[in-house]
Amino acid sequence: MSGSILTSVGSRIFSLNTIHTYFFFILMFSGGLMCSSCTDLFTGWVGMEVMLLCFFPVVLKHHMPWLSVLGCVNYFVIQVIGSNLYFVSSCFMSAFDSKHWMISILLALFLKLGMFPFSFWVPKVYSSLEWGGCLMVSVWQKYGPLFIMANNYLNQKFWWLVTLSGVLSVWIGGMLGVTVNSVRVLMGWSSVCHAGWMAILTLTSEWILLLYFLTYALICTALFSMFELTGLMNFSSFAYYSQTTRACLCLGLLSMAGVPPLSGFFLKWVGLLSLIESGFELISLALIMGSGMSALLYMNLVFTLSVHSWAMSLSYPITTPMWEAGDYIRMFILIFMFPFLFFFLN
């Protein structure tokens, strides 16, 4: 039992064993900060590139690097296409002094975020990455593009593009996610839905966006590290879990789905209030209906966890990956951050 929550969970799901991976980890965070504090598009591009390049040494485990190579390569190709499109169109924008290049910049960012017209890469990448990689793709890699969008005033001018893509990715993510059989791909579609929410929130208030992002990051970290610790691959492996593990997983998933007393509800409520405050009443209605659709993503998983399993009735003992007490406590803290978040709003 050493160090903080982040270190001990992080050392298990990322390869934070040696000092140079820590270096890349910190470099990745600084790339994100570069994106969120930039005033021009070029610095944002540099920040996104730094984040992308530091992603690989953090995610690839050096004692078994073959595990997620395929996912990394797929992800790299997609992100490079997005970056190049971004770079070229921002050059054109300054060269020709035309605001309409912002459309292709936004499309490039949607490609990087995995939002609606370009969400085809999500199942491929998520299914071939490990949970640590999935967590990075879902959370930290989204930070850069989102805050570039939030910082740029032209984002407001093309609000129709952002809201169209956001609402459609919430709906499409929910629709495509319900048919999926692998848990990682399912979480990939869930990240598409949340990216849609966050992209629309870039139009309203940066603080609300940050709050949404942080809460989403907490829930994601909790859930993905639970998946990692229980060694979960697909739906059938649930049958071996103990009652407490199932309850924890269920709570995490329900929190992701936005069931009220859990942190996920906070995301919806704060997002809705901020959207309505900015005058997006009908769009927020479409968005929250899509959120209902995307909550159905987790339904199959929660149902599978709740059904009394056949493995319980087996006569021989099955070895399951055991958790320490500290693991449960960490998970509960991460899932039930809910009331404390409200203090930040004051």
307 binds other proteins (CB under 8 A): yes
Q: Which of 23/342 has CB closer to other proteins?
A: 342
User: Which x/- pattern, by CB under 8 A, does the window 244-273 give for other proteins?
Assistant: ----------x----xxx---xx-xxx-xx
Q: Quick one: which of 119, 124, 125 has its CA closest to 166?
A: 119
Question: Which pair of structure tokens corresponds to residue 283?
Answer: 């769009």
Sole window of 27-35, 132-140, 180-188, 306-314 interacting with other proteins (rule: CB under 8 A): 306-314
277 binds other proteins (CB under 8 A): yes
What is the size of the binding site for other proteins (CB under 8 A)?
A: 36
The distance of closest approach from Cβ of residue 194 to other proteins in the complex, given in angstroms and rounded to an integer, is: 16
310 binds other proteins (CB under 8 A): no
- Note whether 178 and 297 are within 8 A (CB): yes
Of residues 6, 314, 329, 345, which one binds other proteins by CB under 8 A? 345
88 binds other proteins (CB under 8 A): no
233 binds other proteins (CB under 8 A): no
40 binds other proteins (CB under 8 A): no
Question: Which pair of structure tokens corresponds to residue 310?
Answer: 């056949």
Of residues 195, 284, 297, 327, which one binds other proteins by CB under 8 A? 284
Q: Which of 68/304 has CB closer to other proteins?
A: 304
Q: Which of 23/303 has CB closer to other proteins?
A: 303
The distance of closest approach from Cβ of residue 257 to other proteins in the complex, given in angstroms and rounded to an integer, is: 9
295 binds other proteins (CB under 8 A): yes
Q: Which of 24/241 has CB closer to other proteins?
A: 241
The alpha carbon torsion through 70, 57, 189, 78 (nearest 10 deg) reads -60
312 binds other proteins (CB under 8 A): no
Of residues 91, 285, 320, 323, which one binds other proteins by CB under 8 A? 285
Question: Which pair of structure tokens corresponds to residue 28?
Answer: 């990745």
Question: Which pair of structure tokens corresponds to residue 266?
Answer: 């906070």
Q: Which of 299/311 has CB closer to other proteins?
A: 299
329 binds other proteins (CB under 8 A): no
The distance of closest approach from Cβ of residue 33 to other proteins in the complex, given in angstroms and rounded to an integer, is: 26
Q: What is the largest CA-CA distance in the chain?
A: 74
Sole window of 53-61, 100-108, 132-140, 304-312 interacting with other proteins (rule: CB under 8 A): 304-312
The distance of closest approach from Cβ of residue 282 to other proteins in the complex, given in angstroms and rounded to an integer, is: 8
179 binds other proteins (CB under 8 A): no
Q: Which residues bind other proteins (CB under 8 A)?
A: 243, 254, 259-261, 265-266, 268-270, 272-273, 276-277, 281, 284-285, 288-289, 291-293, 295-296, 299, 303, 306-308, 336, 338-339, 342-343, 345-346
